[in-house]
Amino acid sequence: MKMEVIVTDYEKNPKQGEEIVFVDTASKEQYSGITNEDGKFTIGLPGGTTYLAKIKGVGSEKSYQVFSIPKLQENRNYGMSQFIIQYEPPRVFTLDEVYFDVNKATLRSQSYAELNELVDFMKRKKDIRIEIAGHTDSTGEEEDNIKLSQRRADRVKQYLVRKGIDANRIEAKGYGESQPVADNSTKEGRQKNRRTEVRIISE
């Protein structure tokens, strides 16, 4: 079946560069497309099965809706259908799989997969500008933590630029320990506070 996929925000403004993935719930085969400047793309999906539609993010996929395409009788054809997605992407998200060496700004190799997803995200959304926000826990001196978080944010920016993203689209800022999201008195809380965030500045 041919289907026109339309992605907008809740005010019906088109969302360019959104990757939508359709997963056949039986075979697990995946079909995907990326919206153009009108927030649309056309895709062909085999009938007679059920699909889960997902919105691809950086390091994540948001399940949106499950739907079925009935199997047609012989000598019958599918018409063109529309699949409309309305949602508001997050303005701030954490890069959960980005890791640095202890007290250093050296990226560990296991960070590259999620950073490459961020590169793809920015290539799909050509007008977007972001801030890379570095955060630490409260261990150590406050001034040292600000410097460390700044070096780490700069390091992520350098990686993105080396992968072809315009440096003018990226700001890097270290916030040190000033914006905790968890209790610094526990090991788990400190781990949550040591994070790298992406903040959408404009799009």
Whether the CB-CB separation of 176 and 145 falls below 8 Å is answered with yes
The answer to whether 9 and 15 are in contact (CB under 8 A) is yes
* 194 and 154 in a common domain: yes
Q: What is the pLDDT of residues 6-40, one digit of tens each?
A: 999 999 999 999 999 999 999 999 999 999 999 99
Q: What is the mean pLDDT of residues 89-105?
A: 91
Query: What pTM, to 2 d.p., does this model score?
Result: 0.85
Q: What's the average model confidence in pLDDT over 87-101?
A: 92
Confidence category of residue 71, pLDDT binned at 50, 70, 90: confident
Residue recorded with tokens 């309305």: 86
Opening angle at CA 144, ends 139 and 145, nearest 5: 55
Q: How many domains does the chain have?
A: 2
Is residue 108 located within the same domain as residue 76?
Answer: no
* Final residue in a domain of this structure, among 53, 69, 86: 86
Q: Please, what is the average pLDDT of the chain? A: 94
Tell me: do 74 and 106 sit in the same domain: no
Domain boundary among 86, 113, 145: 86
The answer to whether residues 82 and 126 belong to one domain is no
**Residue 117 has what pLDDT?**
95
Are residues 78 and 97 part of one domain?
A: no
pLDDT of residue 90: 87
pLDDT at res. 102: 83
For the stretch 109-130, pLDDT in tens is 999 999 999 999 999 999 999 9
